[in-house]
Structure 1
Amino acid sequence: MTLIYGHRGAKGEAPENTLTSFQQCLAHGVRRCELDLHLSKDGELMVIHDPTLKRTTGRRGKVVEQEAEDLVRLDARHGGPGWKQPCPIPRLAELFERCDFEHWQLEVKSASRVRAARSVQAIKALAEQHGLLDRITVTSGSREVLRALKRLTPELSCGLVAEYAWLDPIKVAQQYGCDYLVLKWTLCTPERIAKAQQQGLHVSVWTVNEPALMRRLADFGVDSLITDFPGLAVSTLRSRG
């Protein structure tokens, strides 16, 4: 059975990476999500995709230059589907408290060695505090982040995010002790999926928004799809039987 992850919550239906978006995902009965993390100036894990604020809040500046207390006052409705109420940037801690997901893919964007270390240690501390260690997988396309996970937080499940096949993504995932291989859909062939699964990897594919593509990848045997439209994915995979 192919599992469904809501991409940044339900990015196609509500402002991405906001509490509203994750609640929308849960409303479809989809209890797995993918989200993006950056550290604030004071070291809190903030749920936002870009390192800068412009695209989702219309404000200038970088996430890392702002205190968490100021970031949570910003409205992250810009550039997404229309929404009547303001949708603040959330702390990861708030989502852990308010959203009952059975599994979380937490993507840490590329980071310096120091920031990678701070990020993975902050995730571990928060996951332990909320009793969620066994329900999260930290994913990244950054070698620095994967190295930090392996070195500092080996108890955290981790995954490689692969967008290009210039290196064999399966080999790279194994090199860093990954459990998940998070592939861009253009990299998916039945052969690669089967080979990854034979090596014990969970193959999760992004971003899958077309019903025909959802069905094709499910036929290929991927373990999970990451989609902007979790409701559409539920009805598409259900009608497939």
Structure 2
Amino acid sequence: MTLLYGHRGAKGEAPENTLASFQHCLAQGVNRCELDLHLSRDHELMVIHDTTLKRTTSRRGKVSQHDAAELVTFDARHGGPGWPQPCPIPRLEELFEQCPFEHWQLEVKSASKVRAARTVQAIEKLVARHGLLDKVIVTSSSREVLRALERHAPALSRGLVAEYAWLDPLKVARHYGCEMLVLNWTLCTPERLQKAQKQGLHVSVWTVNEVALMRRLADFGVDSLITDFPGLAKRTLSS
């Protein structure tokens, strides 16, 4: 059975990476999610995709230039689907407290050595405090982040995000002790999928928004799909 993850909550239906988006995902009956993390200036884990604020809040500057208390006052509805109420940038902790997902993919973008270490240590601490170690996997396309996970947060499960085929993703995943391979759908051939699953990897494929593609990948036997439209995906795979 193919599992479903809401991409940044329900990115196609609600403002991405906001509490409203994750609640909307849960309301569609999809209880797994994928999200993105950056550290605030005062080292709190904030749920936002870009390093900068412009695309989702129309503010200037970087996430890392603001304290968490300020970031949570910024409305992150900009450029997304229309939404009636303001949608602040959430702290990860707020989502852990309010959204009962059964599994979380937490993606960390590339970062310097120091920042990667700081980020994964903050994640491990928060995840442990909320008793979610068995419900969380930290994913990244950055070797610096995967190295930091091995070195500084070995208790956390890790996954490789692979967008391009120029490096053998299976080899890289094995090298960093990953349990999950998060593949761009264009890389998901039946051969690569079978090879990865033989290696013991859970293969999660993104971003899958078309009905025909959802069905095709489910027929291939992918372990999970990441989608902007969790309600549509749920109905498609149930029918």
**TM-score, scaled to structure 1:** 0.99
What is the CA–CA distance in structure 2 between the aligned matches of 1:68 and 1:152, rounded to whole Å? 23
Task: Tell me the SS of whatever aligns to 2:118.
Answer: helix
Match of 1:59 in 2: 59
Match of 2:119 in 1: 119
Please report how far the alpha carbon of residue 152 of structure 1 lies from its aligned counterpart in structure 2 after TM superposition: 1.1
Equivalent residue pairs, number: 239
Match of 2:164 in 1: 164
1:157-196 deviation line (CA, Å, top 9, x unaligned) = 0000000000100000000000000000000100000000
What is the CA–CA distance in structure 2 between the aligned matches of 1:99 and 1:120, rounded to whole Å? 21
Please report how far the alpha carbon of residue 50 of structure 1 lies from its aligned counterpart in structure 2 after TM superposition: 0.2
Q: Structure 1: state its 5+ residue gaps.
A: none
Match of 1:210 in 2: 210
1:41-74 deviation line (CA, Å, top 9, x unaligned) = 0000000000000000000000000000000000
Please report how far the alpha carbon of residue 153 of structure 1 lies from its aligned counterpart in structure 2 after TM superposition: 1.1
Please report how far the alpha carbon of residue 110 of structure 1 lies from its aligned counterpart in structure 2 after TM superposition: 0.5
| 1:177-188 paired onto structure 2 within 5 Å | 177-188=177-188
Please report how far the alpha carbon of residue 154 of structure 1 lies from its aligned counterpart in structure 2 after TM superposition: 1.2
What is the CA–CA distance in structure 2 between the aligned matches of 1:220 and 1:192, rounded to whole Å? 11
Amino acid at match of 1:135: K
What is the CA–CA distance in structure 2 between the aligned matches of 1:64 and 1:152, rounded to whole Å? 21
Match of 2:228 in 1: 228
Q: Structure 2: state its 5+ residue gaps.
A: none
Task: Tell me the SS of whatever aligns to 1:183.
Answer: strand
What is the CA–CA distance in structure 2 between the aligned matches of 1:212 and 1:236, rounded to whole Å? 9
Match of 1:175 in 2: 175
What is the CA–CA distance in structure 1 between the aligned matches of 2:220 and 2:151, rounded to whole Å? 34
**TM-score, scaled to structure 2:** 1.00
Please report how far the alpha carbon of residue 212 of structure 1 lies from its aligned counterpart in structure 2 after TM superposition: 0.1
Match of 2:150 in 1: 150
Give the alignment's Cα RMSD to 1 decimal.
0.3
Please report how far the alpha carbon of residue 126 of structure 1 lies from its aligned counterpart in structure 2 after TM superposition: 0.2
Match of 1:46 in 2: 46
Amino acid at match of 2:204: S
Moved over 4 A (4+): none
What is the CA–CA distance in structure 2 between the aligned matches of 1:220 and 1:121, rounded to whole Å? 36
1:195-215 deviation line (CA, Å, top 9, x unaligned) = 000000000000000000000
| 1:57-136 paired onto structure 2 within 5 Å | 57-136=57-136
